Amino acid sequence: MHDIRFHAAIAELPAAAWDALLPEPNPFVSHAFLQALESGGCIRPDWGWQAHHLSLHEGERLVAAAPLYLKGNSHGEFVFDWSWASAWERAGGDYYPKLLNGVPYSPVPGPRLLAGNGTGRLDLQRALVDAMRAECDRLGLSSVHANFLQADELAAFGDDWLARSDVQFHWHNRGYRDFADFLAALNHKKRKNIVHERRQVAASGLAVEWRPGDSLSDGEWSRVHELYEATFDMKGNHAALTSAFFARLGELGPAIQLALARDDGHIVAMALFVQGGNVLYGRYWGASVDVPGLHFELCYYRGIDYAIAQGLQRFEPGAQGEHKLARGFLPARTHSRHYLVNRDFRAAVANALADEAAAVDDYAAELAAHSPYARREAAPR
């Protein structure tokens, strides 16, 4: 039997032992990234987040773990269950708090059940799942949710966990020599559009540069956060990531990369990326100027440039956005699992998810039929 423990802060767990459980170098479940969120003031009960990390020990040796949170709302998750919450509360139940196995504010597929790569990995993953369910029952919660799981983690969840899938858009490196080589793989219409957008930015007079995060000054980091925050404010949304968190990103070394646009030396737009292993992840964007094509240049084309130059296998620019398809990003499926304690409620949601799954399958098939490439390229499911 494993010793099951829960932790109110990631700092209660040793960083080296936690990171040793990662099956691959995914930056979003690294101890440093989760610690930056907590120490940067992004994980707060009044914002609906309370750390409740799960660990399994054999003696004092950490053998498995999961990033886990008590959630007082569904903000910052990107697997939307607001309708479930509304239905359960109309029926007289309390949907919140719930348990979430995921990474705050980060709709990025990756490991959620951290159990290394050993032969007993699946057994440890199942032990983590069982521990989350038992904790849900102990606390009298409505549900447990595991978001943006890796495909090889799905077997750890039993049939009483509801399956949900969605679509993101990922770019895959087919051994391109440079950006021109990538463009040559697209059909004529898509290639012409991208060339036009890049020329618009080049003609704007803005100076665009690529910078590693640890090369930015404190003032530059402050400006990057200011642009991120202003973008949320402009849309009437809450910018949950603090300036303290952004400052801590600069301490994560080469994992953080940025594309910056300057006007007369002043940063007027930015796109922030996180690199882990052979993957580049697009995360945050902000701009104080409205220049045609600038968003695509910083968020997509500079990222593709960098991925090709570094020999990276994949570039995941973030959640949603059909416009990514026209720019070389192909549909990829994401996966989540959900345990609802009440059987009748679970059955009702399962029926709704069956309809949703059929719609998502149709949507993915429709997207696949409109590949931007001159020759059809299939993305991994």
Residues 308 and 337 both lie in one domain: no
Element housing 145 (H / E)? strand 143-149
Residue 376 pLDDT grade (very low, low, confident, very high; cuts 50, 70, 90): low
Q: Is the pLDDT of residue 237 over 90?
A: no
265-300 pLDDT per residue, tens: 999 999 999 999 899 999 999 999 999 999 999 999
Alpha-carbon span 342 to 346, nearest angstrom: 6
Residues 44 and 160 both lie in one domain: yes
Q: Is the pLDDT of residue 50 over 60?
A: yes
Q: Are 56 and 64 in contact, with CB atoms under 8 Å apart?
A: yes
Q: Is the pLDDT of residue 109 over 50?
A: yes
Q: Is the pLDDT of residue 102 over 80?
A: yes
pLDDT of 380: 43
Alpha-carbon span 96 to 250, nearest angstrom: 34
Its pTM stands at 0.94
Top pLDDT among 164 and 2 is at 164
Q: Are strands 143-149 and 98-101 parallel, antiparallel or unpaired?
A: parallel
Write out the residue range of the structural domain in which residue 11 sits.
3-166+332-368
What average pLDDT does range 111-136 have in this prediction?
96
Residues 218 and 281 both lie in one domain: yes
Q: Which has the closest alpha carbon to 260: 272, 251, 252?
A: 272
Q: Are strands 143-149 and 279-287 parallel, antiparallel or unpaired?
A: unpaired
322 assigned to some structural domain: no
Residues 296 and 348 both lie in one domain: no
Q: Is the pLDDT of residue 76 over 70?
A: yes
Question: Average pLDDT, whole number, for the chain?
Answer: 95
Contact residues for 121 (Cβ-Cβ < 8 A; gap 6+): 23, 115
Alpha-carbon span 42 to 233, nearest angstrom: 17
Neighbour count for residue 200 (Cβ, 10 Å): 15
192 assigned to some structural domain: yes
Cis ω for the linkage preceding 27 (within 30 of 0)? no
Alpha-carbon span 245 to 119, nearest angstrom: 37
- Lowest mean pLDDT of 69-78, 178-187, 229-238, 371-380, name the range: 371-380
Percent of the chain with pLDDT over 90: 90
Q: Are 270 and 258 in contact, with CB atoms under 8 Å apart?
A: yes
What average pLDDT does range 62-86 have in this prediction?
97
DSSP H stretches of helix in 185-324: 188-203, 218-234, 243-249, 294-296, 302-310
378 assigned to some structural domain: no
pLDDT of 162: 98
Q: Are 328 and 171 in contact, with CB atoms under 8 Å apart?
A: yes
Alpha-carbon span 266 to 205, nearest angstrom: 13
Write down which residue in 281, 312, 343 finishes a domain.
Answer: 312
Phi, psi of 13 (to 5 degrees): -110, 140
Residues 179 and 78 both lie in one domain: no
Q: Are 41 and 245 in contact, with CB atoms under 8 Å apart?
A: yes
Structure tokens belonging to residue 358:
């059929």
Q: Are 310 and 345 in contact, with CB atoms under 8 Å apart?
A: no
306-338 pLDDT per residue, tens: 999 999 999 999 887 889 999 999 999 999 999
Q: Is the pLDDT of residue 378 over 50?
A: no
Burial class (CB in 10 A: 0-12, 13-18, 19+), 234: exposed
Handedness of CA 215, 220, 226, 228 (dihedral sign): negative
Structure tokens belonging to residue 135:
């904790």
Residues 20 and 157 both lie in one domain: yes
381 assigned to some structural domain: no
Q: Are 341 and 293 in contact, with CB atoms under 8 Å apart?
A: no
Alpha-carbon span 116 to 122, nearest angstrom: 10
Residues 363 and 293 both lie in one domain: no
pLDDT of 379: 45
Give bridge partners of residue 143 from the DSSP assignment. 340
Number of domains within the chain = 2
216-233 pLDDT per residue, tens: 999 999 999 999 999 887
99 assigned to some structural domain: yes
Residues 111 and 195 both lie in one domain: no
319 assigned to some structural domain: no
17 assigned to some structural domain: yes
Angle made by CA atoms 338, 339, 342, in degrees to the nearest 5? 135
pLDDT of 322: 87
Structure tokens belonging to residue 180:
């021109």
At 126, which CATH number?
3.40.630.30
70 assigned to some structural domain: yes
pLDDT of 377: 53
Please report how the helices 343-368 and 82-90 are oriented relative to each other, as an axis angle in degrees rounded to 10.
160
Residues 179 and 146 both lie in one domain: no
130-147 pLDDT per residue, tens: 999 999 999 999 999 999
Residues 10 and 115 both lie in one domain: yes
Residues 82 and 162 both lie in one domain: yes
Residues 148 and 218 both lie in one domain: no
- Lowest mean pLDDT of 238-247, 295-304, 350-359, name the range: 238-247
How far, in Å, are 243, 262, 287, 325 from residue 270 at the CA level?
15, 9, 6, 22
